[in-house]
Structure 1
C-alpha cells in the first residue's frame, strides 16, 4: 500500500514508524526486514526488524528516501510516497501480500519428510506427514523406513525386535515399555529420528537390532510462542493441550499442559486344541482400555554464557484407568459335544502416577563449535496401583462359575548418569570418550485370590512379589577421520552388568554379573554427488526387559496365560552391513545388504497343560539373518511426492528346547508405499499403504497383513489455524494372527484394534505454527 501527501522539508532527525500486517488476515508480521534507501543513490540509509507485534521504528537525518519491506513468503514492497510532519513519518498500517510461488517452494521443502545419511546412521527428518498429524511417536516410527510397529506397540527394525529407544540420545522414561509413555510424544514435537542399525561404541550396547534415537524439537524463536489444540476421535479420543514457550537471550522457558479421555478397544479370539484327546476350547471377546489423564511438563534452558547451557526439566503425569472386558468361552469334548459355555467378565481399575526429571550441562569450548563436554542426569518413576475382579457366569452345560480378584502394586525407579566429551582435533580428525551409569530398580507385588465358599482365598501358585535390580556401567572411546570423500570411524565400549532378581514369596533369587566388550567400525566413500557407499560392523547386547523377566500372570483369559522368565540370559549379536546411496533424476534411493548373527535368541515358547496355553520367553539357540533393504523418494512435481520402502530377509534358526529341536529356515518381507498430493486452497492429502508378510516361528507361524492410512489437512489463516482429519487402518485390516502347531496341541490367537477416526483443530499464537497435541499412547 502506497501513502501520498505533501513532503515538508525538515531539519534534524526524522522518526519513521509503522505497523506491518498480512493483507489476507490482518495478523501482524514480526521479524520482517524494513530497509530505508536513498531515492537518488539507491544506497541503504538505515534498517530495522519489526518487533513481536509487527511495529517498526527508524530514525534518519535524510529526507529523500523510500522504504523497502521484505519477508519470506511475501512479495517485496516499496513505499515511496509519504508525509513528513514535525520530524515524524507515520506510515500507519502497511499490508504485505503473499507470494504464492515462493510459498509453494517453502511448503515442498519444509513439510515432506526426508532421510539424510551420516557416517554411522540415517537421519529421518520428520515433516508434517498428514496420516500421523495429531498422532503419537509410535505412529511416526511406523512411517520411518526400516521400522515397523505392530498393534501391540512392539517395535521392530528390519523385522527384528530388541530395539533400543533413546530420547535426545539418552534413555528416558518416555521410551520405557513398562510405563507405556512413548505414545505421549506427539508427531509435532519430533524434529528427527535417527535410525542406527550399526551403532558406534558411543551408544549404549543394548538393542541387538540397533537404536532408534528420537530427537525432540527445540524452540528457537524469541518472545512468546504457543499453541492450543483440541482433538476428538472415534473410538473415544478427546483431549485438549496447551503448549507455551518464552525465549529471551538467557532463558528458554517451556511448558505443556494436557488433559483428556481415550478408549482403546481390542477384539480377541483364541482356540486351544488338545491333539491327544481332541478337546477344544474356543474363546472370543472384546476388551477396552479407558483412561482419563492429566500431565504437565515444565523446563528451562539457561544460557550462562556463549559456551555454557544448563537445562532442567520435569514432567508429572497421572492416569486413571478403567479396563472392562468380556470373553465368551465354549468347551467341547472328544466327541465334539458341548461340555460348557460361559462368560468371563473383568472389571479393572488402576491409578498410574508418573514423574521424571532431567538435568543437563553442555559446555562448548572456544577452540571449535563441536568441541564439547556434556554432563546429564535423568531420574524417573512409574507406579501402578491396580485391582481387578473376574466373574465367570455359566450359560450352558457344566457349571464352571468361578470368581477371582487380583491386586497389583508396581513401582519402578530408573536413574541414568552420563558424561560425554567430543574433540575435533583438526578438520579431519575427531575423538570421543564418555562414561554412563544406569540403575533400574523394580518391585511388583501381585496377588491372586479365588472365591471359595463365599470367601476370597489367596492362590499361592499365582501370587508373587518380584524384585529386579539392574546396574550397568559403560565406558567408551572412538576415533574418526573424515575428509571430503572418505571417512572412517572405530571405537570400543566396555560394559559391566550386575543383575539381581528375587521372588520374595518363595525366596528364589538369581544373580548375574558379567563384563563385555563391544567394538564398532564404520567407513564411507563418496564417489560423486549422486553415489556413495557405507559399510559398518558392531557388536550388540539385548538384556531381557522387565516384562520378559517378571513371572506375572495375566488371567484375563485364564486359558491363555503369559508369564515372564527370571532365568533369561542376554542375547548377543554381531552385525554387518553395506549400504549404497544414489540419485537418479528426481528420485533418491538407498539400498543395503546386511547380516546379523545372534546367540541365545529370546523366543516366546508355548507349553500346554490341562488345555491351558502358557507362553514364556526362553533362550533358544542361534539365528543367522541375511537381508536386503531398499527405500527411496520420487517427486515428479511440486505437488506430488512418492515414498517407498522394501525389506526382505532370509533367516536360519538353530536350537532346541526341552528335547525338541527347532532347526528351520524361513524368510519375511515388508513393504511401504506412500504418496502426498497437494491441492489448491491449502489442502493436502496423504495415503500410506503397508504390507507385512507372514513368517515361520519356532513353533508355528505368524500371519501377514496389509493396511492403509489416510490423512487430510486444511490450513487456515496462513497456517495459524490447522484442521486435520485422519483415518487409520481404513479397512480395519491391521490384524495379528499367531499359529502354534505342535505334536500334542495347536493354538490360534487373533487380535485387532480396528479403524480409528481423528479430527483436530490447532491455533498458534506468537511466532509459532499451529501444532497438534495428542493424548494418544501405546
Structure 2
C-alpha cells in the first residue's frame, strides 16, 4: 500500500531537483512497456532508477499512452525497475550504457494473480465511516446482493430498512429524502420505480444523514439517504461485462466502458434484460356490525423488459477546473397480470356471492436524466471549491388496465372495467455550492438551490354498459401539481484535533399549486421557513469519540399523497391522496458514541424527534369498502436507541450486528375522534461473512423486524434470511456470484386494522429469488464484485 506512495514522492522530488542534475553527466533511458498476454501498451506504468546499495529509488517516471517513457539520471551505479499494479515487476541490474544512453527496447510484463487478488480483497467488506454530520457506508462485495437493486443494498445499511413493497425507512420512519449524487433525481422518486433500476455494482457509497446540516435540503423528517454512483476514472481503457440469470425470471446483460486520458474521462454503461416479480395476495374486509365480510385470494406477476444507457464525460480544462456532462436514457415495457377470487359471506359464514377478477396492465416508461456540472478548485488550497450544477429529470408513463369480473356464484352480472393513465413529470434542479477554509481548522460553506417539479396526471376509469365503455366522471380528471422550492444556506465549522463544531442556517421558500382541471378545483399554498442545524464531536481518545446533532426538518406532501385518484385493482380496498394535505415539521436531536475495543468496533446512539402536523393514513369504512387517505392528525414524539457493532475475530470471518429500537407517542384528533396512542418497534440484522479455501466466499444475513402500530393498523413481524456465495476464476479477472434472497420464503407484508365497527387485513408475499451472475473484466478493467439487474 505504501510503496507506490513512496515511489511517487521520490519521483516528485526528483523532478524538483532536475535542473541541478543537468550540470552533471546525464544518462538517458528509453523504452516501451507492454502486456505479455496481448501486446497492448501499458499507460502510467512506473519506471524507477534505484540505488543498489540501499535499495531506494533515485528518480522515476510513468509511461505515456503508447507505453513509452524517457528517463534521465546522473547516477553512476544503479538498477532500473518497471512495475504496474496487478503485474509482475521487472528489474534490470547493471544495464549496458552506450553513449550515455540505455535503450531497454520493448519490455513485457505479465499479470500477477496474487497481486490481483490482494487488490480485490481490500474492498470486499462494506465499511461504515463516521463523519461530523453523517455516516458513510462504503459499498463492498456483499455477496447476497448479486443481481440486486439498490433496494437490497440499502437493506444492508445500518439503520435503514426496506419493506417488501420497496418503501425505504430510516430508524423506523419513512419520512426519508432520497438523493442521487447529492441531488434529487427521477431515479430516486416513488413514481419512477425508484431504486429498483439501480444496481449494486453501480454504487460507490451510501451516505446516511440522520441530522442533516443546513447545507442539505430540509426535506425528509427522518433524514437523508444519498446514493453516490461510481464514475470510473482509471487511466487508459477499462471495462467489464456482466451476465445474470435467475429464478423467477431475472435475465440481464450489462456492459461498462471507460476511457481516461489526460483531458477527458469518458464513461458509459448499457444494459438490457427481463425480470418478473410474482406475489401472492390476500385481503379481508369484515363488517363487525352485521357480520358480513368480503375476502380475496389471488396471484399477481409483474414483468419488466428494459433497456438503459448512460453516457458521460469529464473534461479537465486544467488541474483546477473540470466540466462534467452526463445523460441517462432508459425505457421499460411493463406487463402485469393479476387474478383473484372475491367472495362475499353473510353473518352465518355462508357464501352469498363470488366472482373472479382478472387484470391485464400494460405500460411503457421512458426516463431521461441529464446533468451539467462545473467544479473549480483553487490553487494553494485543496479544500476550497466552487460547484455549479444543473440537472433535469423527465419521466413518463403511458398505461392501460383492463379488468374482467366473471361471476362464479350468485346472480351478479359480469362486469368489464378499464383505466387509463397518461403521466408526465419533469424535475429541474439548479445548485451552487462554495466551500472556503479560513484556516486549517475553520471552514465556511454557502450556496443556493432552486428546484422545480412539474407533474400532469391524466387519469380515467371507464365502465362497460353492454355496448360501449363510458367514462365515470367522478373518477376521471386531470391532476396538475407544481412545486417550486428556493433554498439558501450558510454553515461554519471548526474542526480541531479533539473537538469539532458545525453550525448552519437554511432558508427555504415553497410555492405549491394543485389543480383538478376537469372540475376546476385549485389549491395553492405558499410558505417560507428557517431551518437551523448544529453538530459537534469530541474525540476522547483514539478508540472513543462522541457526536451530537440537531436539525429542523420538513416533510412536504408528495405527488401521490396529494393525487386524489386511486387504483381499482381491488374495488373493496382503495387508497387515495388528499389535495388539502399540509407539510409536517420535525425537530430532531441525537447523541452518538463510537467505540473500538480490540477486534470490535461499536456505535451506540440515542435520538429524539418531535413532529408537528403529523401525516397519517386514515381509513374510512362503508358498505364493506375501505378507503384510506393521508391526513394531518396532530403531534408525535419518538425516542429511540440504535446500536451497531462489527467483530472480526479472524481474517477469514467477520460478524456485523445492527439493532434499532424506537418508542413513539402520538397526540391528535380528526373529525372529533381522538387518535392518541403509544407504541414501539425494533429491528435487528446479523451478518456473517466467511472466507473458504479455493477463493470461495460465503455470506449469511438474518433479519428480524418486530410488529408495530400505526395510527389505526398493526403491522406484522418479519423474519427472513439472505444468502450469497462467490468464486473467483481466471486469476481474478472473472467472478461467479450466487445469491438467494429470502431463503425460506418467509418475508411478508401484512397489516391488520381493527376498529369497533370493522376489521381489515391486507397480506402479500413475494417468495424466494435465486440469481446466478458472472462478471468479466477486460482491457485494464477488473471483474465487478456484483452483476447487476439494470444499469440505470
**Is 1:236 aligned to 2:249, yes or no?**
yes
Partner of 1:118: 131
**Is 1:465 aligned to 2:478, yes or no?**
yes
Q: Distance between the aligned counterparts of 1:117 and 1:310, measured in 2?
A: 30
CA offset at residue 233 of structure 1?
Answer: 1.0
Q: Distance between the aligned counterparts of 1:472 and 1:18, measured in 2?
A: 55
Contact 1:347 1:390 in 2 (8 A): yes
Q: Distance between the aligned counterparts of 1:423 and 1:64, measured in 2?
A: 49
Moved more, 766-775 or 50-59: 50-59
Partner of 1:537: 550
**Is 1:654 aligned to 2:667, yes or no?**
yes
Partner of 1:692: 705
Match of 1:330 among 343, 359, 366: 343
Q: 1:391-428 deviations in whole A, cap 9, x for unaligned?
A: 00111223241110111110111111111111101111
Q: Distance between the aligned counterparts of 2:653 and 2:300, measured in 1?
A: 41
Q: Which secondary structure does the structure 2 equivalent of 1:224 belong to? A: strand
Q: Which secondary structure does the structure 1 equivalent of 2:123 belong to? A: helix
Partner of 1:775: 789
Q: 1:108-166 deviations in whole A, cap 9, x for unaligned?
A: 53211111111111111111111113321111111000000011111100000110011
Contact 2:231 2:267 in 1 (8 A): no
Partner of 2:8: none
CA offset at residue 32 of structure 1?
Answer: 4.6
**Is 1:629 aligned to 2:642, yes or no?**
yes
Moved more, 88-97 or 634-643: 88-97
Structure 1 residues 677, 50: CA separation in 2 closer, same or farther (over 3 Å shift)?
farther
Structure 1 residues 13, 317: CA separation in 2 closer, same or farther (over 3 Å shift)?
closer
Contact 2:233 2:258 in 1 (8 A): no
**Is 1:268 aligned to 2:297, yes or no?**
no
Q: Distance between the aligned counterparts of 1:223 and 1:317, measured in 2?
A: 28
Structure 1 residues 684, 366: CA separation in 2 closer, same or farther (over 3 Å shift)?
same
Contact 2:199 2:791 in 1 (8 A): no
Structure 1 residues 17, 662: CA separation in 2 closer, same or farther (over 3 Å shift)?
closer
Contact 2:78 2:94 in 1 (8 A): no
Q: Distance between the aligned counterparts of 1:425 and 1:13, measured in 2?
A: 46
Contact 1:20 1:54 in 2 (8 A): no
Q: 1:564-590 deviations in whole A, cap 9, x for unaligned?
A: 111111110000000001101111111
Contact 2:237 2:779 in 1 (8 A): yes
CA offset at residue 75 of structure 1?
Answer: 6.8
Structure 1 residues 622, 719: CA separation in 2 closer, same or farther (over 3 Å shift)?
same
Question: 1:103-252 counterparts in 2 under 5 A?
Answer: 103=117, 106-252=119-265
Contact 1:318 1:352 in 2 (8 A): yes
**Is 1:503 aligned to 2:516, yes or no?**
yes
Partner of 1:9: none
Structure 1 residues 518, 30: CA separation in 2 closer, same or farther (over 3 Å shift)?
same
Match of 1:358 among 349, 354, 371: 371
Moved more, 364-373 or 44-53: 44-53
Q: Distance between the aligned counterparts of 1:96 and 1:66, measured in 2?
A: 22
Moved more, 160-169 or 214-223: 214-223
Question: 1:406-425 counterparts in 2 under 5 A?
Answer: 406-425=419-438
Structure 1 residues 412, 40: CA separation in 2 closer, same or farther (over 3 Å shift)?
closer
Structure 1 residues 19, 464: CA separation in 2 closer, same or farther (over 3 Å shift)?
closer
Structure 1 residues 29, 14: CA separation in 2 closer, same or farther (over 3 Å shift)?
closer
Structure 1 residues 187, 28: CA separation in 2 closer, same or farther (over 3 Å shift)?
farther
Contact 2:87 2:110 in 1 (8 A): no
CA offset at residue 282 of structure 1?
Answer: 0.8
Structure 1 residues 264, 777: CA separation in 2 closer, same or farther (over 3 Å shift)?
farther
Q: Distance between the aligned counterparts of 1:620 and 1:735, measured in 2?
A: 29
Q: Distance between the aligned counterparts of 1:483 and 1:52, measured in 2?
A: 43
Contact 1:19 1:55 in 2 (8 A): no
Q: Distance between the aligned counterparts of 2:459 and 2:690, measured in 1?
A: 52
Give the TM-score taking structure 1 as reference length: 0.93
CA offset at residue 96 of structure 1?
Answer: 6.1
CA offset at residue 172 of structure 1?
Answer: 1.3
Contact 1:184 1:774 in 2 (8 A): no
Contact 1:340 1:400 in 2 (8 A): no
Contact 1:740 1:747 in 2 (8 A): yes
Structure 1 residues 29, 758: CA separation in 2 closer, same or farther (over 3 Å shift)?
farther
Partner of 2:318: 305
Contact 1:52 1:766 in 2 (8 A): no
CA offset at residue 663 of structure 1?
Answer: 1.1
CA offset at residue 335 of structure 1?
Answer: 2.3
Match of 2:309 among 296, 299, 306: 296
CA offset at residue 719 of structure 1?
Answer: 2.4
Q: Which secondary structure does the structure 2 equivalent of 1:558 belong to? A: coil
Gaps of 5+ in 1: 1-11
Give the TM-score taking structure 2 as reference length: 0.92
CA offset at residue 35 of structure 1?
Answer: 3.5
Q: Distance between the aligned counterparts of 1:416 and 1:370, measured in 2?
A: 25
**Is 1:639 aligned to 2:666, yes or no?**
no
Q: 1:28-66 deviations in whole A, cap 9, x for unaligned?
A: 976554445566896757645467788888788999865
CA offset at residue 372 of structure 1?
Answer: 1.1
Moved more, 31-40 or 606-615: 31-40
Structure 1 residues 41, 737: CA separation in 2 closer, same or farther (over 3 Å shift)?
closer
Q: Which secondary structure does the structure 1 equivalent of 2:439 belong to? A: coil
Structure 1 residues 544, 95: CA separation in 2 closer, same or farther (over 3 Å shift)?
closer
Structure 1 residues 15, 319: CA separation in 2 closer, same or farther (over 3 Å shift)?
closer
Q: Which secondary structure does the structure 2 equivalent of 1:228 belong to? A: strand
Match of 1:562 among 569, 575, 579: 575
Question: 1:576-655 counterparts in 2 under 5 A?
Answer: 576-655=589-668
Q: Distance between the aligned counterparts of 1:712 and 1:719, measured in 2?
A: 15
Match of 2:738 among 721, 725, 728: 725
Q: Distance between the aligned counterparts of 2:520 and 2:510, measured in 1?
A: 22
Structure 1 residues 400, 735: CA separation in 2 closer, same or farther (over 3 Å shift)?
farther
CA offset at residue 92 of structure 1?
Answer: 6.1
Partner of 2:15: none
Structure 1 residues 47, 538: CA separation in 2 closer, same or farther (over 3 Å shift)?
closer
Contact 2:33 2:63 in 1 (8 A): no
Contact 1:543 1:571 in 2 (8 A): yes
Structure 1 residues 545, 110: CA separation in 2 closer, same or farther (over 3 Å shift)?
same
Moved more, 465-474 or 57-66: 57-66
Question: 1:454-533 counterparts in 2 under 5 A?
Answer: 454-533=467-546
Q: Distance between the aligned counterparts of 1:321 and 1:766, measured in 2?
A: 36
Contact 2:202 2:791 in 1 (8 A): no
Match of 1:756 among 763, 769, 773: 769
CA offset at residue 68 of structure 1?
Answer: 3.8
Q: Distance between the aligned counterparts of 2:475 and 2:674, measured in 1?
A: 30
Gaps of 5+ in 2: 1-26
Question: 1:83-122 counterparts in 2 under 5 A?
Answer: 93-95=108-110, 97-99=112-114, 103=117, 106-122=119-135
Aligned residues: 764
Q: Distance between the aligned counterparts of 1:62 and 1:510, measured in 2?
A: 81
Contact 1:479 1:489 in 2 (8 A): yes
Contact 1:573 1:598 in 2 (8 A): yes
Partner of 1:4: none
Structure 1 residues 281, 80: CA separation in 2 closer, same or farther (over 3 Å shift)?
same
RMSD: 2.6
Q: Distance between the aligned counterparts of 1:65 and 1:369, measured in 2?
A: 36
Q: Distance between the aligned counterparts of 1:325 and 1:373, measured in 2?
A: 52
Q: Distance between the aligned counterparts of 1:249 and 1:28, measured in 2?
A: 16
